[in-house]
Each structure stands twice: as structure tokens, then as C-alpha cells.
Amino acid sequence: GEDVEQSLFLSVREGDSSVINCTYTDSSSTYLYWYKQEPGAGLQLLTYIFSNMDMKQDQRLTVLLNKKDKHLSLRIADTQTGDSAIYFCAESPLTLGNTPLVFGKGTRLSVIA
């Protein structure tokens, strides 16, 4: 079945780079997403990548996609305390009619000043 796996915790020092990894199972997903959840709030789309791309860069964010290994990563350069949040990886498998998103359990990023 569909499953998205990511590590639960990551701790980095302010100014360092953060890399959050995700593996997914359904190769039919045409888009893969990263959502950010700040404390006490709902999720917000941070960035996404289309499945025919290997990399997408958006200011401090870099998304890498390895379709062969079904591996997605999010790199945050120069991590700031405001980046402390939970980051969710998500896919939209066509096998589900591509309507629901399948989310990972989320990675809690803690930034140490």
C-alpha cells in the first residue's frame, strides 16, 4: 500500500544546513510536496516538485528527487530559529485517484541558537 516514511526528529545549529529525508512507495505520484507546520497552526505548503524533475531550488530551499530510489529530500540552507517546525512529506498517488494526499508522520526540526 501507499506509505511515506520520514525520520521523526532533527536537531541543527542556527546557520547550519538542515536536510530532511523522505521515502515514498507509489511511483505513480506526479507531484511530491513538503508542508510546514508551525506550533499551534495548520499545515502550509512549503514547496513541491514535479516527478520529471531531479531538483528544485527556491531561495534557501532545495528539493532533490531520486525517482529510482523513491527518495525525496528537503535542504534548508542557513537554518534560522524561525525554521523550527514539523515538516511533512506528501505524495498524491494516482492509485488513489490522486485526490487524497498521503502524508509522512512528519519530522520535527529543532534549531539551536
Partner 1 sequence: NAGVTQTPKFRVLKTGQSMTLLCAQDMNHEYMYWYRQDPGMGLRLIHYSVGEGTTAKGEVPDGYNVSRLKKQNFLLGLESAAPSQTSVYFCASSWFINSESSYNEQFFGPGTRLTVL
- Positions touching partner 1 (CB under 8 A) are 8, 30-31, 33, 40-45, 48, 88, 92, 94, 98-101, 103-106
Q: In whole angstroms, give the CA distance from residue 23 to residue 96.
A: 18
Query: In the 8-state DSSP scheme, what is residue 106?
Result: -
Question: With respect to partner 1, which residue has the nearer C-beta, 73 or 106?
Answer: 106
Burial class (CB in 10 A: 0-12, 13-18, 19+), 26: middle
Shortest separation between residue 43's beta carbon and partner 1, angstroms: 5
Q: How far is the CB of 97 from partner 1 (least distance, A)?
A: 9
